[in-house]
Amino acid sequence: MAATDTVRILLPGNRDYEIRIGSGLMDERSSWQGLPKAGAAVVVSNETVAPLFAERLRSQLLSVYPRVDLVVLPDGEQHKDWASLNRICDHLLGEAMDRRTVLFALGGGVIGDMTGFAAAIYMRGVPFVQVPTTLLAQVDSSVGGKTAINHPLGKNMLGAFYQPERVIADLDTLDSLPDRELRAGLAEVIKYGPIADAGFLCWIEDNLDALLARDKAVLGYAVRRSCEIKAEVVGQDEREQGLRAILNFGHTIGHAIEAGLGYGAWLHGEAVACGMVLAADLSQRLGLMPAGFVARLRALIERADLPVQPPKLGAERYLQLMRVDKKAEAGEIRFVLIEELGRAGLHAVPDALIAETLAAHGAA
Amino acid sequence: MAATDTVRILLPGNRDYEIRIGSGLMDERSSWQGLPKAGAAVVVSNETVAPLFAERLRSQLLSVYPRVDLVVLPDGEQHKDWASLNRICDHLLGEAMDRRTVLFALGGGVIGDMTGFAAAIYMRGVPFVQVPTTLLAQVDSSVGGKTAINHPLGKNMLGAFYQPERVIADLDTLDSLPDRELRAGLAEVIKYGPIADAGFLCWIEDNLDALLARDKAVLGYAVRRSCEIKAEVVGQDEREQGLRAILNFGHTIGHAIEAGLGYGAWLHGEAVACGMVLAADLSQRLGLMPAGFVARLRALIERADLPVQPPKLGAERYLQLMRVDKKAEAGEIRFVLIEELGRAGLHAVPDALIAETLAAHGAA
């Protein structure tokens, strides 16, 4: 894939932005031109990603900004917390960075969420750019302006809707991605099929081997199509008043698995993959989808070597964790369920039915 | 003043809201009707204000919400920090409050800023209502959607623009306000004269004694006129891209005093009062205003028994503290200066001139 694909997120109030997808974008001058002017830029990254890309990004940014700092955080979902967020803010304040300062999130979903949240609150808002280096961040978390940190009592519980200036998804950064993380990212790619595009689900089934083999052209299409679907949904419902919730297919149980096991035990994509299997099962139990769909989705997730078997936390613990889910209301747990292939909706599900699904999968 | 005054803040995106000003509003059913529906409300207050008003507010809210919790924080600017913010978030998460939950900020500016910020970030945003019980909060901080916490390196450095659903300013709550806090609030009332309304400055001069004697009708007019001016400014420039900065007249040096002495040593309004005297002096040194204006403003502030003499922190320390001010850019300190009576603007001021003003007031 030589060409650069561009997907545009359309938002009111002059906040449109571009997602650029392609090989070699990190080293392309144009990736970093036309961004807000500032006296300084700050690259936020983690201990794993910084050694790989931080100096390359810095040298590019130094052609645009007089000063480029680097803040390196510990790696992992378990560090997506107040302490890490404060390290970003402490650096900005310690260096007397003004409110034109541009932040660059160089890394996966955790770095993107934390850097975006820091940008949202530093001096009540400074501009930021997403430079996602994992498949999961390129297809999902870097796009759409959800930022957050975790709280011991729930995932992404403190955060803001805050849009980046641009997203630069350099496919070459995926070359160094561990297999486990690539597969975790595929979970979010798979997600877009059942919720929005039956044809895309078929395409993933047909191209899964090429995706796992990191065929650049196939990966490029997967990233672009995922971003197109997300852009359309976010453009219609930026602040998750309704439609946007469908992007959380698999996330209700997924978040409970992550919080229940302790953040970092399972990767986010792994938890979402397993959560989709159980949400598909709930869709069937509510008579929305046939058994064939559940088997099909489960088979695809198994082929991607992602978990289909939830950890045995007990039904009570699962229910307790899910009641603090952001989609819950008045104590009622709500799931994104598939209504037909390519269409999803939010459904309140009785505790007893959730317990049945959990028991059927050995989680209770 | 028997009647209720209503000032409307006009904002794009269906976010208009009302400031209601009057006596007895806390106990009026209509104050709490027509707010977003929810399964629970949470009143956030502090150790000083909660014993006075929390039960009265709770009993009113119980006619609207099935459940009303109370979170009581320590009192004082020195507690406007991560730790207090976390206490609000911990309560919300610990009680599994969903994202319809409505927060009520019952107190002064510190409680309003922290509760608003908690509302802005909890689950990426829940509704909140301001119930200001100090003059400063009624005329300034509860209106306009600026929320924040302090950082050891600077005041209000972490926060969000996040608008309340309504502001209920019950003038009767001012009856129990300590004299020192009443005067601190008058600093922000005085501020509106030089920056926006020369006639209002005359009115304050004519009515200062009645204000200090807490004449309810006079206080009511001061609150209403202050809110009208603020509403007009905020409606034109919600996110402080330009005009809104004029509301920070006196705040650049004021914030430096607060941070330099340690939060809570001086009240915010006291620091702003002193900051206005020095900013007026800078306006004169830059040839924008005559000496008579400086003397007139200083005399009014002295009559209100507010400080006109800055603490002796040394010029270097002042400059260092002011360089992290949110209005600073590229290391240049910018002040809101008076350009003519009733009109203000943002001006970059050379360090040497600032040092002169500081020295002339015994602060260097």
Give B180-211 pLDDT, tens digit per residue.
999 999 999 999 999 999 999 999 999 999 99
Same structural domain, B154 and B184:
no
Number of structural domains chain A divides into:
2
A248: nearest Cα among A360, A140, A359: A140
Same structural domain, A188 and A224:
yes
How many other C-beta atoms lie within 10 A of the C-beta of residue A287?
7
Strands, E assignment, B272-342? 334-340
Report the C-alpha gap between B53 and A294 in whole angstroms. 56
Q: What is the pLDDT of residue B152?
A: 84
The residue from A152, A176, A200 where one domain ends is A176
B28: nearest Cα among B1, B4, B11: B4
* Best mutation target, A11, A117, A123, to test chain B (most B CBs within 10 A): A123
Report the C-alpha gap between B201 and B185 in whole angstroms. 15
Inter-chain CB proximity A100 and B329 less than 8 Å: yes
Q: Which two tokens stand for residue A166?
A: 């641009």
Q: Could you write out the DSSP letters of every residue in B19-74?
A: EEEETTGGG-GGGGTTSPP-S-EEEEEETTTIIIIIHHHHHHHTTT-S-EEEEEE-
The residue from B176, B207, B239 where one domain ends is B176
pLDDT in tens, B277-312: 999 999 999 999 999 999 999 999 999 999 999 999
Average pLDDT over residues A147-171: 95
Same structural domain, A20 and A159:
yes
Same structural domain, A88 and A141:
yes
CA A335 to chain centre: 18
- Is the model more confident about A66 or about A14? A66
Q: What is the pLDDT of residue B1?
A: 44
Q: Which two tokens stand for residue B295?
A: 């003397």
Same structural domain, B216 and B236:
yes
How far B82 CA lies from chain A's nearest CA (Å)? 9
Q: Is A134 annotated as a binding residue?
A: yes
How many other C-beta atoms lie within 10 A of the C-beta of residue A59?
11
Same structural domain, A208 and A242:
yes
Report the C-alpha gap between A110 and A132 in whole angstroms. 10
Same structural domain, B148 and B256:
no
Inter-chain CB proximity B89 and A157 less than 8 Å: yes
**From B39, B158, B239, residue closest to A330, measured CB to CB:** B39
Q: Could you write out the DSSP letters of every residue in B322-349?
A: HHTSTT-BTTB-EEEEEEETTEEEEEE-
Region of residue B28 (left: phi > 0; alpha: psi -120 to 50; beta: else)? beta
Question: A123 φ, ψ to 5°?
Answer: 50, 35
Report the C-alpha gap between A53 and A76 in whole angstroms. 17
Average pLDDT over residues A133-161: 94
Nearest 10 degrees: Cα torsion A37, A40, A44, A48: 110
Same structural domain, B316 and B197:
yes
Instruction: Compute the residue count for chain A.
Output: 364
DSSP B122: B
The residue from B176, B193, B227 where one domain ends is B176
For residue A190, the domain's CATH number is: 1.20.1090.10
Q: What is the pLDDT of residue A130?
A: 98
Same structural domain, A287 and A233:
yes
DSSP A163: -
pLDDT in tens, A240-293: 989 999 999 999 999 999 999 998 899 999 999 999 999 999 999 999 999 999
B285 burial (CB, 10 Å; 0-12 / 13-18 / 19+) is middle
Average pLDDT over residues B133-157: 94
Q: What is the interface size between A and B, counted as CB pairs within 8 Å?
A: 102
Q: Which residues of B touch A (CB under 8 A)?
A: 12-13, 39, 82, 86, 89-90, 93-94, 96, 98-100, 120-125, 146, 148, 151, 153-154, 157-161, 239-240, 323-324, 326, 328-331
pLDDT in tens, A192-226: 999 999 999 999 999 999 999 999 999 999 999 99
Check B181, B228, B238, B240 and give the catalytic one: B240
Q: Which two tokens stand for residue A121?
A: 């609150």
Check B165, B181, B188, B228 and give the catalytic one: B188
Tokens 């139990």 locate to A285
For residue A78, the domain's CATH number is: 3.40.50.1970
Report the C-alpha gap between A245 and B267 in whole angstroms. 44
pLDDT in tens, B309-360: 999 999 999 999 999 888 888 888 999 999 999 999 999 999 999 999 999 9
Inter-chain CB proximity B329 and A159 less than 8 Å: no
pLDDT in tens, B5-31: 999 999 998 899 999 999 999 999 999
Residue-number span of the structural domain to which A307 is assigned: 179-360
Same structural domain, B211 and B142:
no
Same structural domain, A87 and A196:
no
Tokens 């340690």 locate to B262
Report the C-alpha gap between A9 and A229 in whole angstroms. 10
Same structural domain, A337 and A203:
yes
* Best mutation target, B124, B251, B327, to test chain A (most A CBs within 10 A): B124
